[in-house]
Structure formats: structure tokens, C-alpha cells
Structure 1
Amino acid sequence: MDDMKFRRAMGKFATGVTVIATENQEGVHGMTANAFMSVSLDPKLVVISIKENAKILEKIRESQKYSVNILAADQEELSMIFAGQLKEHSEVVFGYLDNQPVIPGALAQVVCEVSHEHIEGDHSLFIGKVTDINLEDEAEPLVFYSGYRTLTEKQPAPL
């Protein structure tokens, strides 16, 4: 099967956009990802999927912690920075939650400790035990569906 056909098919699944962040002695490291999901409510677990050649992979293995930052619609530029699509940009300033770097203004900031790592195909799946969460005021999310998009409010159904 053609790789691009598979990639285009997966792009037909609308997802939110996140920045995964971790920190080690070299500093803060981040990457844009849409491969994120909730796994369990009790205990509170989430999973992220990181490609084997991603720079952040060894950094998460080393730190055993990461944050998932669910981006707002006005944070598309941050997504592009952490996806390596913008080479020239201003320095990204991180906040901290539970001693982990987070993106200020993200709709949600979820801090995790690695519970398990599973290697599948060309990716590593990190199951994370959620240690803290911060929610921002309601804002529109950044969405990926064959490219970046935003949601529009639906009109209420007539009574």
C-alpha cells in the first residue's frame, strides 16, 4: 500500500492538535502531535505515540515525564513551530505545572508520568499516569482535518 495514500486516509480523521513537552538537563523539548487519546478514567491514563526517529523520543525515555498541551485555535503558529514547519520564530516561553513544562494558553495542560512504553511498528506508545491538569477558559480548539482548521459554533436548533 502506498505510504501517502495511508497518510491522506489518516488525515481524514479530525483530531485536536497537541504539543507534547518534556524537560531534561538540556532544557525543554517539544513536538506537535495529534496521536493522543484518553485511555482510562480509573486510574487516569492517556497515551501518546512518538515516531522512532523523533528527537523527543529519547528525552521522554530519559525524563519519564511529559505534558500534553491541547492547543487553542489561536495557537496554530505554536503547532507549526513544534512541527518544524517554522524555522524562524521568536523563542517559545513555557509555563510549569507539577514541575513540567506546559504551553501557556493551551485549552488543557495534562501532566503525566510514564507508566508503560510499548513499541509498535515505527512508533513508541507512552501510557502516562496523569498527575495534574489545568484547564483554561473556554476557547475554540485547533483542529486537524487534511490541514489545520477551526470549529464554528452551531446555531441552536429551532424549538
Structure 2
Amino acid sequence: MDDRQFRNAMGKFATGVNVIATEVNGEVHGMTANAFMSVSLDPKLIVISLKEDAKMLNKIKESNRFSVNILSSEQQEQSMIFAGQKKVEEKFEFDYLEGVPVVRDSLAQLSCEVYNEHVEGDHTLFIGKVTSLELQDGEPLIFNCGKYRGLKEMEKAII
């Protein structure tokens, strides 16, 4: 199998959309990601996966803290900004949760400390210990087959 075929197969798995954020020397850095999952309740651990050449990788190693922001169906623009798909004139304004930058109005904001890290293939898996979280009601932003989708759109596809 070639790389494109593998990517297409992985794209069949519908995922939520997250923005990962951290702060180094007073400068906030963010990136869109969908490689995220919960790992443990005790202790409360999550995992994110970053490609070895991602700029965010060294930023998280340096800060040892990051946030995971689970985006709502109304935050496609924010996802596109942090995926480098959309340019903005103004500087993006972050809120803070326990001193870690978070994306305002996300369905969930998780403040994390790096608990462990593992290099696997061409990615580093960061295990994050969740130190605080904030929740809001709403519908999640979903990514499937290379497109943004909402739950209602996914429900119609199933029926």
C-alpha cells in the first residue's frame, strides 16, 4: 500500500477537531489536530500525537504544558486558522486556564502537564496529565474523508 492509500483509509474514521496550544516565552502557539484520545481516569490522562517535524513539538517540550481545545461545530474557522488554511489579519486572542492558553468557546478546554512522551514512527505521543478543565454545551466539529462536518450532517448520511 502507498502513503495516499493509507491516509485515505485513516480518513474514513470520523474524528473530533481540536486545537492544541502552548505558551513559550510569552508567545502562544497553536495547531489543529485530531489525533487525541483519553487514556486513564486515575490519574486523568490524555494523549496527543504530533508529527516529528511539527513546530509545536519542540514548543511543548520546552513549556512542558499544553491545552487541548475540543472545537464546536461553530468553530471551523478557528480550526482552519490553526491548520494554516486561513490567514487572519488580527492576532488570535486566547483565554487562559491555569496559566495555559485555551480557545474561547470550545466545547471542552483541558489544561495539561506533560506526563510522559513516546516516539513512535514519525510521531511523538505526548501523554498529558489533565490539571483542569472547562466544559460547554454544543455540537462538536467533526472531520471525515478530508471534510469538516457536523453531527446533523453525519446523522443524515447514516439514515
Which bin holds the TM-score, normalised by the shorter protein?
over 0.9
Hey, what does 1:140 align to over in structure 2? 139
- 1:86 Cα offset (Å): 1.1
Partner of 2:59, secondary structure, is: helix
Partner of 1:74, secondary structure, is: coil
Segments ≥4 residues shifted beyond 2 Å:
87-91
Q: What does 1:65-144 align with in structure 2 at a 5 Å threshold?
A: 65-136=65-136, 138-144=137-143
Partner of 2:76, secondary structure, is: helix
For 2:53 and 2:87, how far apart are their aligned partners in 1?
A: 19
Identity of aligned residues (%): 63
For 2:122 and 2:142, how far apart are their aligned partners in 1?
A: 25
Partner of 1:47, secondary structure, is: strand
Q: Which amino acid aligns with 2:21?
A: A
Return the TM-score normalized by structure 1: 0.93
Q: When you count helix as a share of all residues, which structure comes out higher? A: 2
For 1:143 and 1:153, how far apart are their aligned partners in 2?
A: 10
Partner of 1:90, secondary structure, is: coil
Hey, what does 1:62 align to over in structure 2? 62
Partner of 2:9, secondary structure, is: helix
Partner of 1:105, secondary structure, is: coil
For 1:139 and 1:60, how far apart are their aligned partners in 2?
A: 28
Q: Which amino acid aligns with 1:104?
A: R
Cα RMSD, aligned residues only: 1.6
For 2:153 and 2:88, how far apart are their aligned partners in 1?
A: 33
For 2:74 and 2:4, how far apart are their aligned partners in 1?
A: 29
Q: Pick closer, same or farther for the CA change 1:152–1:25 going to 2, 3 Å.
A: same
For 1:140 and 1:89, how far apart are their aligned partners in 2?
A: 28
Hey, what does 2:150 align to over in structure 1? 150
Hey, what does 1:2 align to over in structure 2? 2
Q: For structure 1, which segment, 97-106 or 20-29, has the greater mean C-alpha deviation from structure 2 after superposition?
A: 20-29
Q: What does 1:22-33 align with in structure 2 at a 5 Å threshold?
A: 22-25=22-25, 27-33=27-33
- 1:26 Cα offset (Å): 5.0
Partner of 1:42, secondary structure, is: coil
Q: For structure 1, which segment, 86-95 or 35-44, has the greater mean C-alpha deviation from structure 2 after superposition?
A: 86-95
For 1:30 and 1:44, how far apart are their aligned partners in 2?
A: 23
- 1:88 Cα offset (Å): 3.7
Q: Which amino acid aligns with 1:102?
A: V
Return the TM-score normalized by structure 2: 0.93
Segments of structure 2 that go 5 or more residues without pairing to the other structure are none
